[in-house]
Amino acid sequence: MKRTPLVAGNWKMYKTIAETRQLVPELVRGLKEIQGVQKVICPPFTALMAVKALLEGTDIHIGAQNLFWEQEGAYTGEISPKMVAEICEYVIIGHSERRTYFGETDESVNRKVVAALGAGLTVIMCVGETLDENENGLTEAVTQKQVKVGLANIDLKLSAQGEVPLLIAYEPVWAIGTGKAATGEFANKVVGEVIRPTLASMYGEQIANSIRVLYGGSVKANNAAEFFGQSEIDGALVGGASLKADEFVGIVRAAVED
Ligand code: PGA
């Protein structure tokens, strides 16, 4: 089954509005000619409007890095799904940094995914095992539970275009920001033997085969092809390398050349 590749840049807590005005025009120039891959950038909340304005008239989509599940209310410092949906099409949910530093659990991820889908957003839900879990042979158990609980009680339907508004990003925590990417073969095995079968057990083969699964963790222009060449990997969620225009453009280009 053919799935359109997608490359998303997760800027994390980098880039002021002023810095954004430098980077985005470079990205727009570099990405303009590249077709056949969906491109998404996820700046911090404070830069979303500026980035959106800079992306007008391009085919680059915009996403947020998080949201809260309530629609509105007395939740100081939080951003609701409908606020995100006014600006963005995509949202990253359950990134390992949010799980590690901000106490997110599979259950809170689930509430956020429900709320985001309800607001019409396309969700990039992150899963992945820590180094400790990996070394203790828990990769399968952990990623399976993250998918099952993260998507509990969520009904997914195919659109007329044969798509669902959900992507999974498989990001082994030990590979994020460390410069130590997983091998393409390892990531492909986790996606093909754990993540997609778990999705199939929940939603059936057709929907499972339509869900794009990204790899994330130290993806660079010079190793991206190793991941995009794998049958089960449909793109990348890119952190550090998405802050440099030439790197990000190189990664997006590798997704098409595959
Ligand atoms: P990295 O981050 O590319 O800097 O390893 C990936 C991510 O956190 O999504």
* Nearest CA among 151, 102, 148, 103 for reference residue 123: 151
In whole angstroms, give the CA distance from residue 65 to residue 242: 14
Centre of ligand 1 from the C-alpha of residue 210, in Å: 24
In whole angstroms, give the CA distance from residue 37 to residue 20: 23
pLDDT tens, N- to C-terminus, the chain (258 residues): 689 999 999 999 999 999 999 999 999 999 999 999 999 999 999 999 999 999 999 999 999 999 999 999 999 999 999 999 999 999 999 999 999 999 999 999 999 999 999 999 999 999 999 999 999 999 999 999 999 999 999 999 999 888 899 999 999 999 999 999 899 999 999 999 999 999 999 999 999 999 999 999 999 999 999 999 999 999 999 999 999 999 999 999 999 976
Q: Please, what's the b/e burial string for 121-133 (b: 16 or more CB within 10 A of its CB; e: otherwise)?
A: bbbbbbbbbbeeb
Q: What is the DSSP string of 13-39?
A: T---HHHHHHHHHHHHHHHTT--SSEE
Contact 210, 1 (CB under 8 A): yes
> From the CB of 176, is ligand 1 less than 6 Å away?
yes
> From the CB of 110, is ligand 1 less than 6 Å away?
no
Q: Enumerate residues 6+ apart whose C-beta is below 8 A from 220.
A: 181, 241, 247, 250, 251
Distance of CA 91 to the CA centre of its chain: 8
Nearest CA, atom 8, ligand 1: 239
pLDDT tens for 115-129 read 999 999 999 999 999
Residue type, 83: M
Centre of ligand 1 from the C-alpha of residue 225, in Å: 16
> From the CB of 172, is ligand 1 less than 6 Å away?
no
pLDDT tens for 178-225 read 999 899 999 999 999 999 999 999 999 999 999 999 999 999 999 999
Nearest CA, atom 7, ligand 1: 239
Whole-prediction pTM value? Answer: 0.97
Centre of ligand 1 from the C-alpha of residue 86, in Å: 26
In whole angstroms, give the CA distance from residue 177 to residue 14: 14
